[in-house]
Structure 1
């Protein structure tokens, strides 16, 4: 409900329905709650990228993302004049690792996952995120690239499914953010891609990156995996139950202290069911 300026621009890009030809990502400054024209600053950087890469559709085909400190104003003119030209000259096709490293903030290591399909098509994803991690996305950026030829509407459906089962099912500290982005872009090069195989590969990449984010979380000493079985409700409600359990301070303390106190687990489950499913007999 309170997105940062890059998210506002990105939503408009998606609503317009045009193709995306470039992603521009900065760290250190989130372009959120900084005063001034945050949207205008994001557009200024997008325009510089479009000019530098000579994109036919201009800034409308550039998706911006920012991550970093909230409340600092984006140095848009400096980025457009000095940084974007250098970044354009450094573009390469050998590896996504450099980009994964560049978007890190408090991350302890870069996150890259990939899958190769039977027809040679690839799905490669990078992500950043360590703090303010909570389902409903997080202060997290993830970019997934593929050379497979798959219709845009089909990709959107597959991405939604993959995100719900990965990024929207993790938590580190229970705090949501204003800068969440997951983007899936396709260069449409490799034909004859089996859609079921692609869906599975996309799911594996997203789940792997989501797990990496949790393992890399700020102050993380333990990683929990919550399986919700035979739940008398929807998948969305089951995810809320899982979130309620892993965000329970008492249960977290038990896990952190290596104390197998199943009573605290039962209490967390009972607390959720009492609040949201009190008509069920558990």
Structure 2
């Protein structure tokens, strides 16, 4: 069972500073304290996405997936998203029927704030397992966050989803699609149990590119395989692993795509991979007790 987070010194492998992350058109973020963490510490992130946003996702391979993972897997089938709610200080795992009730209460409240169907709200939770999630605190905090949305709240959002992390994790790249610039921003958390396959790890990546969900899913799966699925810290896995990629479609100046293998997406693929790998490396650098960062390169295999 996960232990409750304690104050720890910043990892010696941490970046010198949080990166500069410009806004991604069609993405608004807010973060704050809803009372799940003690001492009024930030523990909740709320994201509003443009109405035509498409989504792709990769989740834990655990047979005991958390209630938020179960919900988001189901929501992913619709291929569209309008909002994202992520809390720390409570993983909502092994919580029985109460766990799904907490998810449903959260997504209904978020959907009400964003005037959309609950099926377009995605959720993720991280923290202590086996304890009921006080979702009423989340529900009560959403209206305030809704009035505090900003296109630049990346660092605050990354801080809100931290558990035993010692520093917030973010990455940003500009990609070229047929001569048109698009942004790719991502934030992540995760500092223990990072193997196999994304263990105890959450990552949320956003772009203003206009890409159908099917193309987005292929691109995400390929990128995850060479980033988050290629790292390890202590050989455990988690019930809450989640990587979500959202494309708002707000930049519609590039031509449409129906095939992820289209050469017109080559630079986008490369920059997406850079963002994902950057985040994955930051997760490793913040491994509990980590003092060394090791990269293994294999050739001729």
Same fold (TM over 0.5): yes
Structure 2 CA distance, aligned partners of 1:197 and 1:95? 26
Higher Cα Rg, which structure: 1
The structure where helix makes up a greater share of residues is: 1
Query: Do 2:82 and 2:114's aligned partners in 1 also have CA atoms closer than 8 Å?
Result: no
1:91 paired residue number: 149
Structure 1 runs (4+) greater than 3 angstroms displaced: none
1:22 matches 2:22: no
Contact 1:100 1:111 in 2 (8 A): yes
Contact 1:135–1:167, Cα closer than 8 Å, also in 2:
no
Residue from 224, 241, 246 that aligns with 2:294: 224
Superposition map of 1:176-195 within 5 A: 176-190=237-251, 191-192=253-254, 194-195=264-265
Name which of 67, 72, 89 aligns with 1:10.
Answer: 72
Could you tell me which runs of 5 or more consecutive residues in structure 1 were left unpaired when the two chains were aligned: 232-282
Q: 1:138 & 1:85 partners in 2: Cα distance?
A: 32
1:165 counterpart residue number: 226
Counterpart contact for 2:184–2:206, Cα < 8 Å? yes
Structure 2: segments with no counterpart, 5+ residues: 1-62, 256-263
- Give the structure, 1 or 2, with the largest relative contact order (CA under 8 Å, sep 6 or more): 2
| Distance (whole Å) between structure 2 residues aligned to residue 43 and residue 35 of structure 1 | 13
Q: Does 1:65 align with 2:120?
A: no
Q: Aligned ranges for residues 1-282 of structure 1 at < 5 Å?
A: 1-15=63-77, 17-55=78-116, 58-80=117-139, 82-118=140-176, 119-190=180-251, 191-192=253-254, 194-231=264-301
CA offsets 1:251-275 (integer angstroms, 9 cap, x no match)? xxxxxxxxxxxxxxxxxxxxxxxxx
Query: Residue in 2 aligned with 1:243?
Result: none
8 Å contact kept, 2:182–2:208 = yes
Give CA-to-partner distance per residue, 1:54-98, whole Å, 9 cap, x none.
22xx21100010000001101122321x22122222211124111
Report the CA distance between 1:53 and its aligned residue: 1.7
- TM-score, normalised to structure 1's length? 0.78
The answer (yes or no) to whether the contact 1:18–1:60 under 8 Å persists in 2 is no
SS of the residue corresponding to residue 94 of structure 1 reads coil
Partner Cα separation in structure 1 for residue 188 and residue 86 of structure 2? 12
What SS class does the counterpart of residue 248 from structure 2 fall into? Answer: strand
SS at match of 1:117: strand
SS of the residue corresponding to residue 199 of structure 2 reads coil
Q: CA deviation at 1:106?
A: 0.8
What is the distance in 1 between the residues matched to 2:175 and 2:74?
32
Q: How many residues align?
A: 227
Looking at secondary structure, tell me which structure has more strand per residue: 2
User: For each residue in 1:191-249, what CA deviation from the matched residue of structure 2 results, as whole angstroms up to 9, or x when unmatched?
Assistant: 31741111111000000000000001110011111122233xxxxxxxxxxxxxxxxxx
TM-score, scaled to structure 2: 0.73
